[in-house]
Amino acid sequence: MHKKYEKIIIGDLIHKYPFVTGYFDQNKMDIQNHADQTVEEFLEGYTEEEREEWAIDKEKIISDLNHYIEQMISFLGLDKDRIDSITILAGRDKEGNPETFEKLTINRSEIVSIVGPTGSGKSRLLADIEWAANNDTPTKRTVLINGEIPDRSQRYSTSNKLVAQLSQNMNFVMDLSVGEFIELHAKSRMVENIDEMTHRIIDAANDLAGEKFNLDTPITGLSGGQSRALMIADTAILSTSPIVLIDEIENAGIDRKRALNLLISEEKIVLMATHDPSLALIADKRIIIRNGGIHKVMETRTEEKAILSELEKMDLIISKMRTSLRNGEVLNNKDFKREV
């Protein structure tokens, strides 16, 4: 099963699977100064001459890497009770019409965007997934786990929920510091290396947030963006839920691309409701909801990825302008023209 490990940042990949350094060593690939790149980006860095001279076959290296990691996961027993995929079998829309697809399988480390008008049925789809629907919800959909109908213990477990939901508004009411909050969650998960885990989460959160905070910061004093960054980092690293739903991340006040990279580096299945074209095109697939049903499932095409590149340039311009405004600087039309 293709997991797309090549899309995970090398530093995160090694942290998750230390044995992967053996693969890079065997293939004589020097990754020492490329921890912040994905494997795909690293391989793109070779020139045509280097590829010919060293017989570098990008597609084969990626295929072999995915196969190597899957074999090692199985050999080391890391795949026990692991949820690798969910499959949605078609149901019906609000008027009882059959949905226009047969089935949709989503694997770990995949990002799927969900688009559609308000009230179209996005929440119903997410509820079906969360409850592992078995033809027993209004849509009559069925959700398979690893290709099979889940047993009752999976469907109704309170400790191992399938879906972790990150809503738009995150308001903390507990009188705790950030460090105490993370420690409390880590203890509830019976994590052994709590101190290491705590620092890993705060570092990841600060990598996402616009303004950094520390372990002593009261969680009630966090801004909206800081709260969102903390919960995404906590969910990615500590939560056992294999599926993460993010609602309107475009308004979160965080580094959106880094947030998604963090989640897929922890092998989460990411479902992202969004109206932002940049985020919709980052996804591997997008689900279009209409009249309570799944109207269409679309693969993100190569030409759309080219458009995404241009959209990301626009996002960078807006981000720089936002920073300038926050710093009290005057925006200059010449600077804008120079950027574009």
pLDDT tens figures, 205-232? 998 887 889 999 998 888 888 888 898 9
Contact 162, 132 (CB under 8 A): yes
Contact 8, 62 (CB under 8 A): no
**Cα 304–275–96 angle (5° rounding)?**
100
Q: Strand 85-89's sheet: what is its strand order?
A: 103-107, 85-89, 142-145
Q: Which pLDDT score is estimated for 1?
A: 41
Superfamily grouping for domain 85-302: P-loop containing nucleotide triphosphate hydrolases (3.40.50.300)
- Give me the chain's average pLDDT, please: 84
317: pLDDT strictly greater than 70? yes
Instruction: Give me the half-sphere count of Cα atoms (radius 13 Å) on the Cβ side of residue 35.
Output: 8
Q: What is the 3-state secondary structure (H, E, C) of the chain?
A: CCCCHHHCEHHHHHHHCCCHHHHHHHCCCCCCCCCCCEHHHHHHCCCHHHHHHCCCCHHHHHHHHHHHHHHHHHHCCCCCCCCCEEEEECCECCCCCECCCCEEEEECCCEEEEECCCCCCHHHHHHHHHCCCECCCCCCCEEEECCECCCHHHHCCCCCCCEEEECCCCCCCCCCEHHHHHHHHHHHCCCCCHHHHHHHHHHHHHHHECCCCCCCCEHHHCCHHHHHHHHHHHHHHCCCCCEEEEECHHHCCECHHHHHHHHHHCCCEEEEECCCHHHHHHCCEEEEEECCEEEEEEECCHHHHHHHHHHHHHHHHHHHHHHHHHCCCCCCHHHHHHHC
Bigger pLDDT: 186 or 319? 186
Q: Residue 79, class by beta-carbon neighbours within 10 Å (0-12 exposed, 13-18 middle, 19+ buried)? A: exposed
Strands 293-299, 142-145: pairing kind: unpaired
Task: Give the chain's length.
Answer: 340
What pTM, to 2 d.p., does this model score?
A: 0.68
Cα–Cα distance measured from residue 121 to residue 257, given in angstroms and rounded to the nearest whole number: 26
Query: Which token pair is 294?
Result: 């799944």
Percent with pLDDT over 70 in the chain: 89
174: pLDDT strictly greater than 80? no
Query: Which token pair is 149?
Result: 């109908």
Contact 5, 66 (CB under 8 A): yes
Cα–Cα distance measured from residue 61 to residue 63, given in angstroms and rounded to the nearest whole number: 6
Domain ranges of the chain: 5-75, 85-302, 308-339
82: pLDDT strictly greater than 80? no
Q: Which pLDDT score is estimated for 156?
A: 65
Contact 132, 150 (CB under 8 A): yes
Q: Which pLDDT score is estimated for 89?
A: 96
Q: Which pLDDT score is estimated for 26?
A: 85
